[in-house]
């Protein structure tokens, strides 16, 4: 075989190997891309939960004063709450939205500690939430300074959702500001900050009779039949 023939054979082999290698590379890249897209899709599905209820958007009319009536059973009665829209608009909007949507219907007071507070606000009283959380926006006038204060329950800073509690006594250690009016180090270990958004105006005698209970206890709790939102002018 001549030198020219050998060169042609080698060139043919080189081109053939290059085509095979290129084909393998394209197949490999295509498979990798498919895997990446699948991972992205799975991540997207994991990080975008389905929201059954809409979070507050800051649309509350703060020039109005709103009242809420909690209808209860065991004991049967009504708890009327004035909502503090001027100092806690995002929290009041959240409470109004969930109440009007029926989120609290047939739920219960699931944690009730005599002398401290009565907590409610899980879906059907079984621990479920609305599918979202929102950040804190504290105000110096948010003070747990008496019985009947209505405040947001949370699991730490910026974890507000649907749960709330009513106090049985002053609990200033839950205030977001200290006695001098300075913001507390909310979010630090051992520091509790909760947003006051209302106060019981009528029916504290019903609050006092709410059944003491801890989550999971085999006790019939006090039920929230529903929560109605009223314009105070219509209440008279």
Band (pLDDT 50/70/90 cuts) for residue 92 is very high
Exactly one of 97, 119, 160, 163 is catalytic; name it. Answer: 119
Marked catalytic residue, from 116, 158, 173, 205: 116
Quickly state the pLDDT bin for 4 (edges 50, 70, 90): low
pLDDT value at position 183? 97
When the pLDDT of each residue in the chain is averaged and rounded to a whole number, the result is 83
Domain ranges of the chain: 1-48, 66-235
Q: Which is higher by pLDDT, 45 or 65?
A: 65
Of 1-15, 58-72, 106-120, the one with minimum mean pLDDT is 1-15
DSSP letter (8 states) at residue 172: G
Q: Which two tokens stand for residue 202?
A: 């009528």
| Residue 216 confidence class, pLDDT cut points 50, 70, 90 | confident
Residue range 118-147, pLDDT digits in tens: 999 998 667 789 999 999 999 999 999 999
205 is catalytic: no
pLDDT tens-place string over residues 159-182: 999 999 999 999 999 999 999 999
Active site residue 111: yes
Percent residues over pLDDT 90 in the chain: 69
Choice among 84, 110, 194, 197 that is catalytic: 194
| CA distances (Å), origin 174, targets 170, 188, 194, 199, 215 | 9, 13, 6, 15, 21
Residue from 98, 111, 144, 164 carrying the catalytic annotation: 111
- Known catalytic membership, residue 194: yes
Can 41 be counted among the known catalytic residues?
A: no
| Candidate list 60, 83, 98, 174, residue with the active-site label | 174
93 backbone dihedrals φ, ψ, rounded to 5°: -60, -45
Catalytic residue among 95, 103, 109, 154: 154
Please, which residues bridge with residue 224 across strands?
Answer: 72, 107
Is the model's pLDDT at 23 over the cut of 90?
A: no
pTM as predicted: 0.77
Q: Would strands 66-73 and 77-83 be described as parallel, antiparallel, or unpaired? A: antiparallel
pLDDT at 236 over 90: no
Output the six-digit token pair for 173. Answer: 């250690």
The per-residue pLDDT for 123 is 83
Q: Where are the alpha helices (DSSP H) in the chain?
A: 3-47, 89-100, 204-207, 232-235
Q: What is the pLDDT of residue 13?
A: 52
Q: What pLDDT was estimated at residue 40?
A: 31
pLDDT over 90 at 24, yes or no: no
33 is catalytic: no
Residue 173 DSSP symbol: G
CATH code for the domain defined by 66-235: 2.40.100.10
């Amino acid at each position: 075989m001549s030198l020219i023939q050998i060169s042609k054979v080698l060139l043919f082999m080189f081109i053939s190997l290059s085509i095979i290698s290129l084909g393998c590379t394209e197949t490999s890249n295509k498979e990798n891309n498919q895997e990446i897209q699948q991972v992205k899709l799975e991540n997207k599905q994991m990080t975008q939960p389905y929201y059954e209820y809409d979070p507050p958007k800051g649309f509350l009319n703060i020039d109005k004063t709103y009242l809420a009536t909690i209808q209860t059973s065991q004991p049967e009665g009504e708890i009327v709450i004035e909502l503090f829209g001027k100092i806690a608009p995002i929290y009041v909007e959240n409470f109004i939205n969930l109440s009007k949507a029926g989120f609290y219907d047939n739920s219960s007071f699931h944690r009730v500690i005599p002398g401290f507070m009565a907590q409610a606000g899980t879906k059907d009283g079984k621990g479920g939430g609305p599918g979202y959380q929102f950040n804190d926006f504290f105000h110096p006038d948010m003070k747990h300074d008496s019985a009947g204060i209505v405040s947001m329950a949370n699991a730490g800073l910026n974890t507000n959702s649907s749960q709330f509690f009513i106090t049985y006594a002053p609990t200033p250690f839950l205030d977001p500001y200290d006695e001098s009016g300075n913001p507390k180090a909310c979010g630090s270990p051992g520091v509790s900050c909760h947003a006051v958004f209302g106060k019981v105006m009528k029916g504290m005698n019903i609050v006092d009779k709410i059944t003491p209970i801890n989550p999971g206890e085999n006790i019939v709790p006090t039920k929230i039949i529903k929560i109605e939102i009223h314009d105070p002018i219509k209440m008279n």
